[in-house]
């Protein structure tokens, strides 16, 4: 596995004039393996220089496909070989011109993605309390309620379509790094779909506050999430007012409102400075004061951001020692964000978290230091920090290779990708059921991390200890069995095609083909030995009682074992 | 051992397979060891994640400052059993009306409350405070393991140890059980197996054995270690088949994840799989806005919480003499209601202990008062019982764990004295 040591190469690709690649013409229901990359417009001027690596050239490509994306599909290795690894990384870091036809075809089946919160409130209304009462008291039969409230118009559809779309994109998208970063940043700025009105705001939140900025400037991400109704609702800031406000009108007229610290605290602890970032309870109160009045215009109707100057605390505030003078308005919150994103604690916190996601659970301090310096030098350019990480010797080191254990989302997406699985289309005509995305989203949930349903503001943990345990491991094996046997409705694999050309009466050859297809030959000697021994099992080889000669190999079982192996749990 | 005792043991239920010779050998040995040593003591630890408002859960209705600090969210004073008022316990404290299901346990002397309990650390971060309460080292983040795992690992196990000494219900293994005790995490008892599907051939070794072999070898690391524990546990659970045990004594668990977790913990206890520590968590306590009073958001969460505990107690029946249920939450909430009819992150809260070994019918801990000068940092209920004192008592006197490894650096103050 270390045979590339002598031949370590430094690749210098100046993209000006280099051959880049757009999406292959096919994807989605059409297998993409073997598709020919088309020429794509080339961007000038940027240089990706990859350092020497002890990994072989193919290992380096697999490493990139596993870290920048959700693992290789059939043909990806060859494709990156042709276009060059540096060019691949370059395109992933700047995917704006990268065509994504498979995703473009798949997403219309999930119409909530394009809707505003206001539209969703109208299309997927909350059942009125009267209806619930009438149902409970027997005045209305369940049948009538189902007619009035057909399943495809219920609010749960919004989350279900979002979940299906996310895993669909992870499987199909050419913009793999972008999808990985959407997962990363959504989790960083987590909102919980099941908290009150958040559900209706969820599609807009990901579309407007997360996706446009995943490779952009960190400050823009913080500002976009801070202003977004989903975050304002999830962390209660929309309710926070100056301490002495008496509500002037409406149902709460005459009541004293007041400060809510929830968002202020999580903004510092989770979004910017980190829990050890050197802020005090006093800072929490001061930041909360700055954000008073950042609210939502009628959240139950899906309204947008509104600044309520009456609710704003116009007094002087002091945040981390910096004075925000009295008399300010909405810009007080923006000034807080400007202060926070430029703190060394923030720079280090974000650099560490990115290095942990892309390199290892305990990233090398020297790399974190350089990534932090890049963050500071570029005023928080996420693309630049990633460039520092992807061009670091640490990223390409033997220690980092296959050192990360896949998250539930990663294991599901990578398994479907490696077998070139097909996702059946969903759509309103099918009531949103039976589609591959929904089937896979259910598997991700079973493995312990349902998409958009992390309740705490921390999101899901970013270290493997949290998701590797007995129950979750069994879940992974059962997922492997379900996928290989085509038991997941809507997400199917064509194993006969994977082993096409191999004599199924020769189990060893079938195994070899699967090891190449799924693990790219990166199986430990122990795993190889165990799997070979399995070939003796009558279950795998389907021997007949008469002649003890293998008639057929149970490819499904063998594939499940390979997908459930320790090696496939790593990336 | 006489034939008679063996027969009665086998008849006793879960380990019938031992007699049929179908059980793994370690299971037989565990069964015999248990017969010698008696049934193991069990601790069921329940974490209310999100910081429960202790002042609403166990209401200090005798403290006038409580009603002064809270307008819309105060729980009404007890009114002689009238619905939607505090259920009086001792003339000063009372249970939230949604916890009425626990009142009989209090009267029966099996439910105790420790009020104004919490951490010496002052953080108001959920994440940090939960971390400290689970690692057992407030203020120290580098602790690699959890206090329940440390305590159990240092407690003599029935020989040889069961793979189910420590079980967490849920997809992720919580911090509190990480460590050298080999705790098992399971989403559900029924799903804890390799699903071979209908195609599996009768009598064939099956794909499960293939997976088991894959994780048998290999260096000691997270994946392989977890894999080995997994298969040991799968085999034992198959033999004991706890999922066949329906709730006993008419116990009705609340719908939802929490009730399901408790129902399955009861199954594991009743199936005698060697369980000593069970863990479940329940969220939804972070009531910054619209907390509600006798009814509303928090009331609904408490109803599920109290209903679950009462059902577990009923289901286990006489087995509760071996069981202590301990509830915890990372901190309490502000004494004063905030501007959104909710409460923000505070300091001390209330914790419950329930079981045959509990000297119940009493609220433990000194009440610090709710006058402004009595509050922690002028806003929160002060801590008068360090959570480590409560946890030390339950772990040492109920489970028999040695105090040393539980809470490194903690000089144990006087224990509350609630375990008989």
pLDDT tens per residue, range B100-137: 999 999 999 999 999 999 999 988 888 889 989 999 99
Q: Is B234 on the interface with A (CB under 8 A)?
A: yes
pLDDT of residue A446 exceeding 90? no
Least confident of A110-114, A411-415, B184-188, B243-247: B184-188
Residues in A closer than 8 angstroms to B345, CB to CB, are 261, 265
More confident residue, A16 or B273: B273
pLDDT at B204: 45
> Which candidate, B191, B204, B217, places its Cα nearest to that of A554?
B204
Flag whether A61 is in a domain.
yes
Contacts of A14 (CB under 8 A, 6+ apart): A47
pLDDT average, residue stretch B209-235: 78
CB B46 within 8 A of CB B259: no
pLDDT of residue B344 exceeding 80? yes
Q: Which residues pair with B380 in a beta bridge?
A: B376
Instruction: Give tens-digit pLDDT for A231-250.
Output: 999 999 999 999 999 888 87
pLDDT of residue A258 exceeding 80? yes
pLDDT of residue A22 exceeding 70? no
A 10 A CB-CB count for B167 gives 31
pLDDT at B236: 86
pLDDT at B37: 53
Flag whether A31 is in a domain.
yes
Q: Is B174 on the interface with A (CB under 8 A)?
A: no
> Which candidate, A166, A160, A168, places its Cα nearest to that of A181?
A166
More confident residue, A24 or A562: A562
SS3 of B418, please? coil
Q: B67-72, long-range: CB within 8 Å, 24+ apart, which pairs? A: B68/B370, B69/B335, B69/B336, B69/B337, B69/B370, B70/B335, B70/B336, B70/B337, B71/B337, B72/B293, B72/B337, B72/B341
Q: pLDDT band for position B21 (50/70/90)?
A: very low
B230 and A570 within 8 Å at the Cβ level: the answer is no
The full DSSP string for A333-379 is HHHHHHHHHTSHHHHHHHHHHHHHHHT-SS--HHHHHHHHHHHHHTT
B210 and A465 within 8 Å at the Cβ level: the answer is no
Sign of CA dihedral A477, A363, A76, A53: negative
pLDDT of residue B268 exceeding 90? yes
Domain end position, chosen among A70, A99, A128:
A99
Indicate the number of domains in chain A.
2
Instruction: Give tens-digit pLDDT for B154-166.
Output: 998 876 668 899 9
Window 348-367 of B, Cβ < 8 Å to A: none
pLDDT of residue A133 exceeding 70? no
A566 and B187 within 8 Å at the Cβ level: the answer is no
pLDDT at A13: 33
Flag whether A545 is in a domain.
yes
Flag whether A56 is in a domain.
yes
Dmax (CA) of chain A: 92
Least confident of A78-87, A489-498, A540-549: A540-549
What's the domain range around A16?
Answer: 11-99
Flag whether A58 is in a domain.
yes
Question: DSSP label at B60?
Answer: -
Q: Write down all domains in chain B, each with its CATH number in brackets.
A: 1-38 (no CATH), 40-199+242-399 (3.40.720)
Of the candidates A461, A469, A560, the beta carbon closest to that of B226 is on A469
Residues in B closer than 8 angstroms to A540, CB to CB, are 210
Instruction: Give tens-digit pLDDT for A265-275.
Output: 999 999 999 98
pLDDT at A473: 86
Residues in A closer than 8 angstroms to B234, CB to CB, are 474
Give the count of Cβ contacts less than 8 A between chain A and B. Answer: 173
Flag whether A57 is in a domain.
yes
pLDDT at A521: 86
pLDDT average, residue stretch B367-377: 96
Flag whether A184 is in a domain.
no
Domain end position, chosen among A99, A128, A152:
A99
Least confident of A22-36, A160-174, A448-462: A22-36
Sign of CA dihedral A479, A483, A489, A492: positive
Residues in A closer than 8 angstroms to B210, CB to CB, are 530-531, 534, 537, 540, 557, 561
pLDDT of residue B201 exceeding 60? no
Instruction: Give tens-digit pLDDT for A181-234.
Output: 999 999 999 999 988 899 999 999 999 999 999 999 999 999 999 999 999 999
Flag whether A84 is in a domain.
yes
Place of tokens 């919004």: A158
> Which candidate, B146, B106, B132, places its Cα nearest to that of B313?
B106
CA–CA–CA angle B3, B6, B9 (5° rounding): 150
Least confident of A120-129, A445-454, B283-292: A120-129
pLDDT of residue A56 exceeding 50? yes
A475 and B216 within 8 Å at the Cβ level: the answer is no
Q: pLDDT band for position B179 (50/70/90)?
A: confident
pLDDT of residue B27 exceeding 60? no
* Percent of chain A residues topping a pLDDT of 90: 69
User: How distant is the alpha carbon of residue B143 from its chain centre?
Assistant: 21
CA distance B227 to chain A (A): 7
pLDDT at A6: 35
pLDDT at A479: 96
A530 and B216 within 8 Å at the Cβ level: the answer is yes
pLDDT of residue A398 exceeding 70? yes
pLDDT at A497: 94
Domain end position, chosen among A42, A71, A99:
A99
pLDDT at B233: 85
Task: Say what the ipTM of the complex is.
Answer: 0.79
A464 and B339 within 8 Å at the Cβ level: the answer is no
């Amino acid at each position: 596995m270390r045979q590339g040591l002598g031949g370590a190469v430094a690749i210098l690709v100046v993209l000006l004039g280099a051959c880049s690649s757009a999406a292959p013409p096919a994807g989605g229901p059409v297998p993409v393996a073997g598709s020919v990359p088309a020429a794509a417009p080339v961007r000038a001027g940027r240089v990706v220089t990859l350092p020497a690596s002890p990994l072989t050239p193919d290992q380096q490509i697999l490493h990139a496909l596993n870290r920048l994306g959700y693992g290789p599909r059939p043909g990806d290795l060859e494709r990156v070989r042709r276009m060059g690894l540096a060019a691949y990384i370059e395109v992933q870091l700047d995917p704006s011109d990268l065509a994504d036809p498979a995703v473009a075809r798949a997403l219309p089946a999930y119409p909530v993605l394009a809707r505003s919160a206001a539209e969703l409130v109208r299309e997927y209304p909350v059942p009125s309390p009267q209806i619930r009462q009438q149902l409970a008291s027997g005045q209305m039969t369940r049948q009538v309620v189902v007619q009035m409230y057909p399943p495809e118009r219920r609010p749960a559809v919004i989350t279900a379509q979002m979940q299906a779309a996310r895993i669909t994109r992870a499987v199909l998208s050419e913009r793999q790094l972008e999808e990985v970063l959407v997962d990363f940043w959504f989790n960083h700025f987590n909102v919980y779909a099941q908290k009150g009105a958040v559900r209706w705001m969820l599609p807009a939140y990901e579309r407007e506050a997360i996706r446009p900025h995943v490779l952009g400037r960190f400050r823009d991400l913080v500002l976009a999430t801070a202003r977004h109704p989903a975050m304002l609702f999830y962390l209660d800031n929309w309710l926070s007012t100056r301490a002495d406000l008496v509500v002037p009108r409406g149902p709460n007229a005459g009541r004293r409102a007041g400060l809510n610290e929830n968002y202020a605290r999580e903004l510092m602890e989770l979004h910017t400075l980190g829990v050890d970032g050197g802020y005090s309870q006093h800072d929490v109160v001061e930041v909360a004061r700055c954000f008073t009045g950042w609210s939502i215009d009628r959240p139950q109707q899906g309204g947008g951001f509104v600044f309520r100057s009456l609710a704003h605390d116009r007094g002087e505030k002091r945040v981390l020692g910096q004075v925000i003078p009295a008399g300010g308005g909405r810009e007080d919150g923006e000034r807080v964000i400007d202060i926070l994103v430029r703190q060394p604690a923030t720079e280090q916190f974000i650099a560490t978290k990115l290095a942990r996601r892309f390199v290892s659970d305990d990233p090398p301090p020297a790399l974190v230091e350089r990534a932090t310096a890049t963050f500071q030098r570029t005023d928080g350019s996420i693309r630049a920090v990633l460039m520092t990480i992807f061009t670091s010797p640490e990223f390409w080191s033997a220690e980092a290779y296959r050192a990360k254990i896949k998250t539930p989302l990663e294991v599901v997406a990578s398994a479907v990708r490696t077998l070139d699985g097909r996702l059946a289309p969903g759509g309103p005509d099918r009531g949103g059921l039976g589609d591959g995305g929904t089937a896979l989203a259910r598997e991700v949930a079973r493995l312990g991390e349902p998409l958009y349903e992390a309740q705490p503001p921390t999101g899901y943990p970013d270290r493997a200890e949290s998701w590797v345990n007995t129950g979750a491991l069994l879940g992974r094996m059962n997922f492997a069995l379900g996928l290989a046997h085509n038991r997941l409705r809507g997400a199917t694999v064509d194993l006969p095609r994977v082993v096409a050309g191999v004599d199924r009466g020769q189990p060893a050859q079938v195994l070899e083909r699967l090891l190449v297809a799924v693990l790219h030959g990166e199986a430990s000697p122990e795993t190889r030995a165990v799997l070979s021994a399995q070939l003796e099992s009558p279950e795998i080889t389907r021997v007949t009682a008469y002649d003890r000669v293998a008639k057929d190999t149970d490819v499904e079982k063998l594939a499940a074992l390979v997908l459930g192996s320790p090696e496939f749990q790593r990336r | 051992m006489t034939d008679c005792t063996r027969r009665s043991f086998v008849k006793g239920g879960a380990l019938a397979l031992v007699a049929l010779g179908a059980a793994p050998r370690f299971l037989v040995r565990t069964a015999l060891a248990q017969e010698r040593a008696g049934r193991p003591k069990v601790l069921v630890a329940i974490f209310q994640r999100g910081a429960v408002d202790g002042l609403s859960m166990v209401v200090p209705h005798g403290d006038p400052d409580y009603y002064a600090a809270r307008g819309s969210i105060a729980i009404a004073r007890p009114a002689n059993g009238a619905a939607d008022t505090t259920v009086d316990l001792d003339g000063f404290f009372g249970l939230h009306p949604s916890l009425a299901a626990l009142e009989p346990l209090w009267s029966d002397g099996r439910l105790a409350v420790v009020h104004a309990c919490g951490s010496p650390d002052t953080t108001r971060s959920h994440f940090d405070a939960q971390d400290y309460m689970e690692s057992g080292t407030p203020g120290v983040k580098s602790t690699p393991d959890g206090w329940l795992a440390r305590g159990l690992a240092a407690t003599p196990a029935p020989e040889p140890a069961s793979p189910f000494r420590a079980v967490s219900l849920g997809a992720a293994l919580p911090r509190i059980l990480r460590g050298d005790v080999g705790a098992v995490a399971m989403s559900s008892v029924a799903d804890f197996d390799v699903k071979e599907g209908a195609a599996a051939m009768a009598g064939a070794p099956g794909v499960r054995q293939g997976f088991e072999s894959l994780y048998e070898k290999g260096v000691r690391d997270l994946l392989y270690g977890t894999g080995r524990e997994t298969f040991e546990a799968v085999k034992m659970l198959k033999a004991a088949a706890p999922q066949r045990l329906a709730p006993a004594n008419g116990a009705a668990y609340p719908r939802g994840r929490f009730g399901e977790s408790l129902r399955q913990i009861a199954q594991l206890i009743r199936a005698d799989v060697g369980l000593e520590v069970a863990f479940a968590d329940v969220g939804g306590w972070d009531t910054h806005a619209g907390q509600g009073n006798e009814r509303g958001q928090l009331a609904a969460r408490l109803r599920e919480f109290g209903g679950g505990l009462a059902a577990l107690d009923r289901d286990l029946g006489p087995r509760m003499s071996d069981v202590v249920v301990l509830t915890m939450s990372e901190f309490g909430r502000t004494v004063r209601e905030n501007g959104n009819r909710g409460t923000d992150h505070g300091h001390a809260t209330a914790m419950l202990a329930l079981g045959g070994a509990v000297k119940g019918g009493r609220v433990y801990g000194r009440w610090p008062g709710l006058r402004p000068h009595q509050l922690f940092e002028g806003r929160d209920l002060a801590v008068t019982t360090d959570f480590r004192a409560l946890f030390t008592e339950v772990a040492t006197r109920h489970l028999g764990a040695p105090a040393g490894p539980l809470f490194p650096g903690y000089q144990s103050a006087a224990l509350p004295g609630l375990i008989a």
